[in-house]
Amino acid sequence: MPIDKDTVKYTAHLARIDLGDKELEKLSTQLHGILDFIDKLSKLDVKDVPPTSHILPINTVLRPDEPRVSLPVEKVLANAPSREANFFVVPKVIE
């Protein structure tokens, strides 16, 4: 199944990645080629095959409802590109 430039552009938007025009052009060609290669999977009959989303045969992993020490707030914000008091700051979110 081929992929066209518009789809790549929309997908980049879904992924919140800004692409320049040249980049978009190059990427679309490359992705088209990759998806073409990936298309060999469509030849297989997988109708009755169950999907594997977890390779390890374990289930129901739980932990007790017991409190642990949280991170000190200075460590939480130590890497923040922008902070105000003990908050992270982001550009205004329009509602």
Partner 1 sequence: MNLNTLTAHELLEKLKNKKTTSQEIISSLYTRIKEVDSKVKAYVRLNQGQPPLCASENALTGTVPVTIKDNISTEGLNTECCSKILEGFKPPYDATVIRKLKSSGVTIFDLKANMDEFAFGSSTENSFFGPTHNPWDLECVPGGSSGGSAACVASDEAIWALGSDTGGSIRQPASFCGVVGLKPTYGRVSRYGLIAFASSLDQIGPLTKDVEDSALLMNIISGFDPMDSTSADFPVPDYTRSLGLDLKGIKVGIPKEYFVEGMDPEVKEIIEEAISKLKSLGAECKDVSLPHTEYAVPVYYIIATAEASSNLARFDGVQYGFRTKEKIQNLIDMYKLTRGAGFGEEAKRRIILGTFALSHGYYDAYYLRALKVRTLIKQDFDRVFMDFDCIVTPTSPTPAFKIGERTADPLKMYLSDIYTISVNLAGLPGISIPCGFTKKGLPAGLQILAKPFAEETLFRAAHAYEQDTEWHKMKPKL
Partner 2 sequence: MDYEVVIGLEVHLQLKTKTKAFCGCSTEFGKGPNSQVCPVCLGFPGSLPVFNKTALDYAIKVALALNCKIQEYTKFDRKNYFYPDLPKAFQISQYDLPLSRGGFIDIEVNAAAKRIGITRVHMEEDAGKLIHQENSSLVDYNRTGIPLLEIVSEPDMRSSEEAYEYLMSLKSIIEYLDVSDCDMEKGSLRCDANISLRESGAKEFGTKAELKNMNSFKAVKDALNFEITRQAQALDNAERIIQETRLWDERSQQTFTMRTKEEAQDYRYFPEPDLPPFIISGIKVEEIRGDICELPHEKMLRFMKEFGLSEYDANILVASKKDAEFAEELMRLYPDGNKKPIVNWLIGPVAAVASSNSVCIHQLVIPGGKGELIKLVKSAEDGKISNLTAKSVFNKSISCGATSSDIIERENLSQVSDADSLIPIVDEAIKDNPKFVNDYKAGKTNVIMALVGQVMKKSGGKANPNVVQELLKRRLKNA
Residues that bind partner 2 (CB under 8 A): 14, 16, 53-54, 56, 58-68, 70-71, 73, 76-77, 84-95
Contact in structure between 28 and 5 (CB atoms under 8 Å) = yes
CA distance 36 to 29: 11
* Residue 82 to residue 88: CA distance in whole angstroms: 6
Contacting partner 1 within 50-69 (CB under 8 A): 50-56, 58, 61, 63
DSSP state of 15: T
The yes or no reply on residue 85 touching partner 1 (CB under 8 A) is: no
- Choose, by CB under 8 A, the member of 37, 67, 70, 95 that binds partner 1: 37
The pairs formed by 38-42 with CB atoms below 8 angstroms and a separation of 24 or more are 39/1, 42/1
Residues that bind partner 1 (CB under 8 A): 1, 3, 7-8, 11-19, 23, 27, 30-31, 33-35, 37-42, 44, 46, 49-56, 58, 61, 63, 71, 75-76, 78-82, 88, 90-94
